[in-house]
Amino acid sequence: MRFRTGVLAASLISSLLAACASAPHADRTRTAKAAAPAPCPVDPSWDEPTAPRHIYANTWYVGTCAISAILITSDAGHILIDGVTDKAAPRIEANIRALGFEPEDVRYIVSSHEHLDHVGGIARLQRDTGASVVAREPAASALERGHSDRSDPQFLSVAKFAPVASVRRIGDGEILRLGPIALTAHATPGHTAGGTSWTWSSCEGATCRAMVYADSVTPFSDEVYRYSENAEMVAAFRKSLATIAALPCDILLTPHPSASQLLERLDPTSGIGLVDTHACRAYAATGSEKLDTRLSKERADRPGNVPSQKQPTPGP
Ligand SMILES: [Zn+2]
């Protein structure tokens, strides 16, 4: 494994790098914990940069203020979860370097769901790192096309993104292995049809934590799609929420850090603990409430409240 000794902006990160260059892994993670990145602004843009953060053991936050990107490291190479936007991709790479790792050592890139804010930077990151991109259908096809299809409740309102050259398929429950890393894909459709949550174990010494990157659980849609007219999707959504609630879950991470107060939980002065074995259940319960609210609203909004036979309009 190579570590950079080159240009770094923040003196805080410089001291971290000095430790990285010479210290074994345990010392590297300890030093990283001392880093205190500048706080993010209130309501940041997707691309608002922020310094990388140590999460736990071999797991790091390399995303922006508003969108997560998670790096899982090993001596056999690294796995990156989510690529934020095309504009933010260079910042993700800079964050990886600032931690003392090389983007070229990223072997796999996986994602939460097929929307611009989480996969828009993957094409560039794939080109720059040479990593294999791995995704579950229908997200895998969406990545190759550069846009989702009508299976996506937000299909008509979301922007296209740079297509990814080649995507390896992974199925529900399959494990992506890289050296000591075992990353499990969990099908969690609902926010999109290709929504995927990821779990792995990160260990500091003998203390291993069940890490969960749970996909977004918000039932947003464009002006045409109605969850109440897509019983299969609603059933799949409820199953996804049950899946997330049942996961072994010590540390919850989410594609939008604000959805799990992630950046606050990574700030030791916030008083909010990083480890919370109830967090996945609470996150799923919030998603369930939002889905119920959404379905009630759709029913209330129907003309005359008469059950509609209308099918959603297929997209182009
Ligand atoms: Zn989304």
Query: Does residue 6 have a pLDDT over 90?
Result: no
Average pLDDT of the chain, as a whole number: 89
Query: Does residue 92 have a pLDDT over 70?
Result: yes
Which tops the pLDDT comparison, 159 or 314? 159
Ligand 1 centroid to Cα of residue 52, in Å, is 22
Taking CA atoms, 44 is separated from 41, 224, 241, 256, in Å, by 6, 29, 27, 11
Ligand 1 centroid to Cα of residue 254, in Å, is 11
Query: Does residue 18 have a pLDDT over 80?
Result: no
Which two three-digit tokens encode residue 122? 């993957």
Question: Dihedrals φ, ψ of 61, to 5°?
Answer: -95, 120
Ligand 1 centroid to Cα of residue 189, in Å, is 11
Q: Which pLDDT does position 305 carry in this prediction?
A: 60
Which tops the pLDDT comparison, 72 or 39? 72
141 Cβ contact partners less than 8 Å away, ≥ 6 residues apart:
149, 167
Chain centroid to Cα 255, Å, comes to 4
Domain boundaries, the chain: 50-305
Asked if CATH classification 3.60.15.10 holds for the domain at 50-305, the reply, yes or no, is yes
- Please tell me the least confidently modeled range out of 23-27, 158-162, 227-231: 23-27
Average pLDDT over residues 60-72: 98
The pairing of beta strand 167-169 with beta strand 132-135: parallel
Q: How far apart are CA 149 and CA 315, in angstroms?
A: 7
Q: How far apart are CA 221 and CA 137, in angstroms?
A: 20
Ligand 1 centroid to Cα of residue 314, in Å, is 19
Ligand 1 centroid to Cα of residue 238, in Å, is 17
What angle separates helix 89-98 from helix 122-129, to the nearest 10 degrees?
A: 50
Ligand 1 centroid to Cα of residue 98, in Å, is 28
Q: Which pLDDT does position 35 carry in this prediction?
A: 55
What angle separates helix 279-301 from helix 231-246, to the nearest 10 degrees?
A: 160
Average pLDDT over residues 95-118: 98
Ligand 1 centroid to Cα of residue 97, in Å, is 27
Ligand 1 centroid to Cα of residue 75, in Å, is 32
Q: How far apart are CA 89 and CA 116, in angstroms?
A: 12
Ligand 1 centroid to Cα of residue 216, in Å, is 7
Ligand 1 centroid to Cα of residue 259, in Å, is 12
Ligand 1 centroid to Cα of residue 15, in Å, is 36
Ligand 1 centroid to Cα of residue 112, in Å, is 9
What angle separates helix 25-34 from helix 11-22, to the nearest 10 degrees?
A: 170
Which two three-digit tokens encode residue 155? 């299909």
Which two three-digit tokens encode residue 210? 């069940």
Ligand 1 centroid to Cα of residue 99, in Å, is 28
Q: Which pLDDT does position 304 carry in this prediction?
A: 65
pLDDT in tens, 265-286: 999 899 999 999 999 999 999 9
Ligand 1 centroid to Cα of residue 226, in Å, is 16
In percent, the amount of the chain with pLDDT more than 90 equals: 82
In percent, the amount of the chain with pLDDT more than 70 equals: 84
Which two three-digit tokens encode residue 264? 């606050």
| Bridge partners (DSSP) listed for residue 60 | 54, 71
Q: How far apart are CA 89 and CA 212, in angstroms?
A: 23
The pairing of beta strand 251-253 with beta strand 207-213: parallel
Q: How far apart are CA 2 and CA 23, in angstroms?
A: 13
Ligand 1 centroid to Cα of residue 145, in Å, is 17
Ligand 1 centroid to Cα of residue 115, in Å, is 5
Ligand 1 centroid to Cα of residue 54, in Å, is 25
* Cβ proximity of 114 and 192 under 8 Å: yes
Query: Does residue 26 have a pLDDT over 70?
Result: no
Ligand 1 centroid to Cα of residue 152, in Å, is 9
Q: Select from 146, 74, 137, 142 the least CA-distant residue to 107.
A: 74
Ligand 1 centroid to Cα of residue 244, in Å, is 17
pTM of the model: 0.86
| Bridge partners (DSSP) listed for residue 124 | none
Query: Does residue 33 have a pLDDT over 70?
Result: no
Q: Which contiguous run of DSSP H or E holds residue 235?
A: helix 231-246
Q: Which pLDDT does position 184 carry in this prediction?
A: 98
* Cβ proximity of 195 and 113 under 8 Å: yes
* Cβ proximity of 125 and 94 under 8 Å: no
**pLDDT tier at 36, thresholds 50, 70, 90:** confident
Q: Which pLDDT does position 205 carry in this prediction?
A: 95
Q: How far apart are CA 38 and CA 270, in angstroms?
A: 13
Q: How far apart are CA 52 and CA 61, in angstroms?
A: 5
Ligand 1 centroid to Cα of residue 24, in Å, is 38
Average pLDDT over residues 26-50: 73
Ligand 1 centroid to Cα of residue 306, in Å, is 30
Ligand 1 centroid to Cα of residue 191, in Å, is 7
Ligand 1 centroid to Cα of residue 192, in Å, is 7
Q: Which pLDDT does position 38 carry in this prediction?
A: 87
pLDDT in tens, 176-229: 999 999 999 999 999 999 999 999 999 999 999 999 999 999 999 999 999 999
Which tops the pLDDT comparison, 307 or 118? 118
**pLDDT tier at 246, thresholds 50, 70, 90:** very high
